[in-house]
Chains A and B, each alone.
Chain A
């Protein structure tokens, strides 16, 4: 959702602008002359590339949605080794996808400044894990810079680019959700240079860029030399700051943790009792400042979000130098889940020996009656339609124990009742490899369900593998013409580029056909027809064919947007109370948020403002009690069905 005027990214020097953390990073990078941006969408990193893409043509920089994080990293890194400042951004698990090139780039280093933004997600708000990517810094000899606020993110992006250039080494800029997706105002220090030319020179430096074993050994020595010089450098603000020096107790706070330490000390009235080492360069651990405070303090508390990365290395540095200060960390500060003042304050109080009892939170017994509200598929969601079609088709063939492997996207929500058509979800593209493995050892039918953007990202190798290794899994690709979950970014199948211009369409069906699959295409908006087609697909599959189904229907949030842009209204359904028998088929089989049973009522109603006209409930109703209350405008089906809709932006 773009709820901030877009061009604020180009606001003039001196103005005060409210930025989301990701926008602040984008702005900082633009000011610092970054000319090439490449990323794959992933919460909480998405808005970095998204906001750059919206001004890329105004400014003359390159902004690309890459097919996955590995390619994004390669593209941006390549520009940097050719002398053009560049940035790639991804969510924490995206770095796993890019890890191969990440580690090699740590050996070869860079020429121009190069940042990889790793947007970590403590508490896994929108992720399958909460891995701490600072470890990658040690693995790859890539320094890690962590901002403690939105405002600092803006400033430190520029500093980190300078750091990268000075040491000729890629730098990881690590944020966490509460920096990436927080907003603060930023006072702009510089203008963004307009119309730049992204031209570099590729030097044929074979020792550096060709990592054959002999060169790799040399490059490893290069990387270690860089590493030692960063460790031993005399660091000061803004990357390393000592507040209130000379106390017997010291707190080391890394990145965002500093904000919570600061509020905790303010609450306890304890700022004067403790030295605080604010670390924004956390990997490698800057040795001198740590030794300095340990020389004066007997006890050190390390406060950091997630793993004891800084803590472990503080212990190691002190051990190596024979310093005897007592180091505390995860004994007092939670190791899993995001931090907050709530979770930091008790540990800080205990460390300082200050009495602190949090006030008992307000509670009423009725709170226990509030049911959890997990995210659900939206009204009109094409995934719901496809899942329904799959279930009905399987039922028609009396296929009872179909194994549906799943993937990463809104459709993961299909794990819930009534569909349960996502029985695994591990990583991007995983549905296909997992389906293959299960199909080799289990008798039941196996169906891999994967989204369009996810298919391009990592689904293609798995598809080839099924054909090559005589797999027995069927593939269903959910093509909703967008990368929906992260907020509707284009992908190679959409015919649009990151900046909104037309791009060639890579047809998913063509890709699968070329690999060797028999491909059935359905439009689940037409339920009956789709069921018939999927029945045929299942029959072919049971006969040993390699079968794939591509289900094409636009994300309903996008169809709704197009409806507003074109003035073509979507239909709205209603329930005829006189025909409704309160059988609850619509409620239980469709599970649409627009169908509710009002308080005290027996029969369900459709919330008119929420209905997006897919009509699945009307199809499901055994008593034909659901009817079109307001017909859609002429050609409304196109909004859901066609890849390009004329008259819409």
Chain B
């Protein structure tokens, strides 16, 4: 299928990686777009490394082939580096400026990680401290995932064409209610704002990738 768009979401179990996958899936279902989401559950969820494969305009094969993710959302920076090979050249990467070292390890620092990602992807890497921002606008780092989704939708026009902001909002209201829905909407909209300004500052050429 020509319009296939592969989105890989990575992070640490407990950060809301699965929820983010479901949000994109609902948003695309509401838009009438065929989607598959592949998750892992059970033991791997407990603070372990986690990847959710979201394939938009896809038929049935649930896993994204190596080198074919068009867009990567990393809820944690080390995980962005770990799953780097899944991204195609020129993919858009949206990365939380957050480093959670596994217990008793001493991994590379944020600047090293960011440098490595830029080396591989040049202008299409967006690194943002979504945890602090989510805490400020929505009251908890829990909402950093929806905030990053806002950035993703804003900076990647291809993604935005498939999963529009209005549909994401509708999906948030489908999956959450009450205070959680409000907080997620605030985080998402703040992410959109941040994303558009990040994309704007890099010029239209970059934003249109």
* Shortest distance from the beta carbon of A199 to any chain B beta carbon, whole Å: 36
Residues of A within 8 A of B44 (CB): 125-126, 375
Q: Report yes or no: B42 in contact with A43, Cβ–Cβ below 8 A.
A: yes
Q: Report yes or no: A5 in contact with B174, Cβ–Cβ below 8 A.
A: yes
Residues of B within 8 A of A376 (CB): 46-48, 102-103
**With A362-B84, A370-B82: A182-B46 Cβ-Cβ less than 8 Å:** no
Residues of B within 8 A of A341 (CB): 61, 63, 65
Residues of B within 8 A of A362 (CB): 67, 84-85, 87-89, 120
**With A340-B65, A376-B103, A587-B103: A3-B43 Cβ-Cβ less than 8 Å:** no
**With A125-B44, A373-B49, A374-B102: A148-B120 Cβ-Cβ less than 8 Å:** no
Q: Report yes or no: A364 in contact with B59, Cβ–Cβ below 8 A.
A: no
* Shortest distance from the beta carbon of A463 to any chain B beta carbon, whole Å: 25
A181 contacts which of B13, B26, B41, B43 (Cβ < 8 Å)?
A: B41
A609 within 8 A of B: yes
A-B contact count, CB below 8 Å? 198
Closest to A557 in B: B14
**With A126-B44, A262-B59: A359-B67 Cβ-Cβ less than 8 Å:** yes
Q: Report yes or no: A184 in contact with B48, Cβ–Cβ below 8 A.
A: no
Residues of B within 8 A of A609 (CB): 135, 140-142
Q: Report yes or no: A367 in contact with B102, Cβ–Cβ below 8 A.
A: no
B204 within 8 A of A: no
Interface residue total, chain B, C-beta cutoff 8 A: 69
**With A182-B38, A185-B34, A376-B48: A591-B43 Cβ-Cβ less than 8 Å:** no
CB interface residues, A 20-70, toward B, < 8 Å: 20, 43-44, 46
- Give the segment of B107-115, B151-159, B188-196 that binds chain A: B107-115
Residues of A within 8 A of B146 (CB): none
A366 contacts which of B19, B112, B142 (Cβ < 8 Å)?
A: B112
**With A366-B81, A370-B78: A178-B63 Cβ-Cβ less than 8 Å:** yes
Residues of B within 8 A of A412 (CB): 43
The complex places the Cα of A183 from the Cα of B100 at a distance, in Å, of 28
- Give the segment of A284-292, A396-404, A467-475, A593-601 that binds chain B: A593-601
Closest to A593 in B: B47
Mask for A400-415, Cβ within 8 A of B = 1, else 0? 0000000000101100
Closest to B119 in A: A364
* Shortest distance from the beta carbon of B93 to any chain A beta carbon, whole Å: 11
Name A's interface SS.
loop
Of the listed residues A178, A338, A377, the one surrounded by the most CB atoms of chain B closer than 10 A to its CB is A178
A263 within 8 A of B: yes
B92 within 8 A of A: no
A196 within 8 A of B: no
B124 within 8 A of A: no
Closest to A152 in B: B60
A263 contacts which of B19, B46, B59 (Cβ < 8 Å)?
A: B59
CB interface residues, A 350-383, toward B, < 8 Å: 358-359, 361-367, 369-378
The complex places the Cα of A554 from the Cα of B7 at a distance, in Å, of 37
Residues of B within 8 A of A166 (CB): none
The complex places the Cα of A417 from the Cα of B103 at a distance, in Å, of 10
The complex places the Cα of A417 from the Cα of B142 at a distance, in Å, of 29
Closest to B131 in A: A609
Residues of B within 8 A of A185 (CB): 29, 34-35
B37 within 8 A of A: yes
* Shortest distance from the beta carbon of B66 to any chain A beta carbon, whole Å: 5
A1 within 8 A of B: yes
CB interface residues, B 68-108, toward A, < 8 Å: 78-79, 81-82, 84-85, 87-89, 99-105, 107-108
* Shortest distance from the beta carbon of B36 to any chain A beta carbon, whole Å: 5
Residues of A within 8 A of B49 (CB): 372-373
The complex places the Cα of A177 from the Cα of B52 at a distance, in Å, of 13
Of the listed residues B35, B45, B119, B120, the one surrounded by the most CB atoms of chain A closer than 10 A to its CB is B45
CB interface residues, B 123-157, toward A, < 8 Å: 135, 140-142
Q: Report yes or no: B120 in contact with A374, Cβ–Cβ below 8 A.
A: no
Closest to A149 in B: B60
Closest to A147 in B: B60
Q: Report yes or no: B36 in contact with A183, Cβ–Cβ below 8 A.
A: yes
A203 within 8 A of B: no
Closest to B13 in A: A375
Residues of B within 8 A of A410 (CB): 43, 46
B12 within 8 A of A: yes
Of the listed residues B14, B44, B47, B120, the one surrounded by the most CB atoms of chain A closer than 10 A to its CB is B47
A259 within 8 A of B: yes
CB interface residues, B 8-28, toward A, < 8 Å: 12-14, 18-19, 21-22, 25-26
Q: Report yes or no: A373 in contact with B48, Cβ–Cβ below 8 A.
A: yes
Q: Report yes or no: A18 in contact with B110, Cβ–Cβ below 8 A.
A: no
Residues of A within 8 A of B40 (CB): 125-126, 177, 181
A3-B18, A5-B175, A18-B26 known; 13 other A-B pairs, CB under 8 Å?
A17-B29, A126-B42, A183-B21, A183-B35, A262-B61, A266-B1, A361-B67, A366-B113, A369-B112, A375-B45, A485-B46, A591-B104, A609-B141
Interface residues of B (CB under 8 A from A): 1, 12-14, 18-19, 21-22, 25-26, 29, 32, 34-49, 59-63, 65-67, 78-79, 81-82, 84-85, 87-89, 99-105, 107-110, 112-113, 115-117, 119-120, 135, 140-142, 174-175
30 contacts between A and B (CB under 8 A): A3-B22, A3-B175, A16-B29, A16-B32, A18-B26, A18-B29, A44-B41, A44-B42, A126-B40, A178-B62, A181-B40, A183-B39, A184-B35, A184-B36, A185-B34, A340-B65, A362-B85, A362-B87, A366-B116, A367-B81, A371-B105, A373-B48, A375-B13, A375-B43, A378-B14, A587-B103, A591-B104, A592-B103, A599-B99, A609-B141
Interface residues of A (CB under 8 A from B): 1, 3-5, 16-18, 20, 43-44, 46, 125-126, 148-152, 177-179, 181-185, 258-260, 262-263, 266, 338, 340-342, 345, 358-359, 361-367, 369-378, 410, 412-413, 417, 485-487, 587-588, 591-593, 596-597, 599-600, 609
